[in-house]
Amino acid sequence: MGNFVKWIGGGLGWTFGGPLGGVLGFVAGTVYDSLEIHIFRKSDGKKTMGDFATGLLVLIAAIMKAEGPVVKSELDYVKHFLKQNFGEKEASEALTLLREILKQKISIDSVCAQIRNNVDYSSRLQLTHFLYNLANVDGHMTGAEQNILNIITKGLRVTVSDKRSIGSVIVQEESLIAAYGIIGVHRSASVIDIKKAYRNMAIKCHPDKVAYLGEELRKAANNKFQQLTHAYEIIKKERNFT
């Protein structure tokens, strides 16, 4: 088995006994009867790819199941994402696991609670950004998808301003309203509040925060960071401050 299964094995270290452990433990046993997964508990507080990958697959399944049957455009988007970020072999393994997870009943609240307690905030933002892209892959977001995203963002403790920022980036409008949304403030905000919001957002969204997730995900985070900087420049020009 390749790296993705090893990452999942690592992820099971902190999910063992919980909802994620229940889902993925069953899946691993179903798909890989001969696979010996070394389960270990996370004790040093270090961030791992296993933590991120485990939560990623389960929440991808939640979005894909929002309206019933899996939509081809969403599956193609997930395939491309996994291949780009984990490699051909690992992507194939991940898709096998995902197909089994899609058959499971998922308690989003409890899953999000485990992710929240084991994955740092910057990585949770990156995860949320991907899920928004997935829900919007066909150019629109349905009410069912939005409801699931609301549950997920609440469960992951994503702030209202950060959620607004992600939504504005997804829309990708070249407008002042979108720029303020990306920064995470209302247009009536003071210059002091705008500067403070930008600094806070820049810290949370800095690509180095998710460098451990690999080069491709770091590039995605860098994209978001560049959009944040661009939005700030638009606002500075409109409000005439430096």
Q: What pLDDT is recorded for position 23?
A: 58
Q: Are residue 174 and residue 223 in the same domain, yes or no?
A: yes
Query: Does a structural domain hold residue 209?
Result: yes
Question: Can you give the pLDDT at residue 165?
Answer: 84
- Position 4 in a domain: yes
Asked if the structure places residue 146 within a domain, the reply is: no
Q: Which pLDDT score is estimated for 174?
A: 56
Structure tokens that stand for 120 in this block: 């740092």
Comparing 31 with 158, which gets the higher pLDDT?
158
Question: Could you tell me if residue 189 is inside a domain?
Answer: yes
Residue 150 is predicted with a pLDDT of 93
Please indicate, yes or no, if residue 145 is contained in any of the structural domains: no
Number of domains present in the structure of the chain: 2
Dist CA 112 CA 19 (whole Å)? 10
**Which residues lie closer than 8 Å to 197 by C-beta, 6 or more apart?**
161, 183, 184, 185, 189
Q: What length does the chain have?
A: 242
User: Among 7-21, 84-98, 147-161, where is mean pLDDT lowest?
Assistant: 7-21
Q: Are residues 124 and 172 in the same domain?
A: no
Q: Is 172 helix (H, G, I), strand (E, B) or coil?
A: coil
Residue 165 to residues 3, 107, 220, 238: CA-CA distances in angstroms?
Answer: 33, 26, 15, 19
With beta carbons less than 8 A apart as the criterion, state whether 216 and 84 touch: yes
Q: Which amino acid is at 23?
A: V
Indicate yes or no: pTM above 0.85.
no
Which range has the worst mean pLDDT, 56-60, 62-66, 175-179?
175-179
For residue 149, tell me if it sits in a domain.
Answer: no
Verify that 100 and 32 share a domain, yes or no.
Answer: yes
Say if 191 falls within a structural domain. Answer: yes
Residue 59: pLDDT above 80? yes
Q: Which residue has the higher pLDDT, 201 or 46?
A: 201
Clarify whether residues 62 and 96 are in a common domain: yes
Range of the domain at 80: 1-139
With 0-12 / 13-18 / 19 or more C-beta atoms within 10 angstroms meaning exposed / middle / buried, residue 176 is middle
| Helix 108-118, helix 3-15: angle, nearest 10 | 100
User: What mean pLDDT is reported for the chain?
Assistant: 76
Are residues 102 and 53 part of one domain? Answer: yes
Lowest mean pLDDT among 83-92, 122-131, 219-228: 83-92
Structure tokens, 119: 């994955």
pLDDT band at residue 114 using 50, 70 and 90 as cut-offs: confident
Task: Determine, yes or no, domain membership for 238.
Answer: yes
Q: Is 91 found in the same domain as 12?
A: yes
Residue found under tokens 């696991």:
97
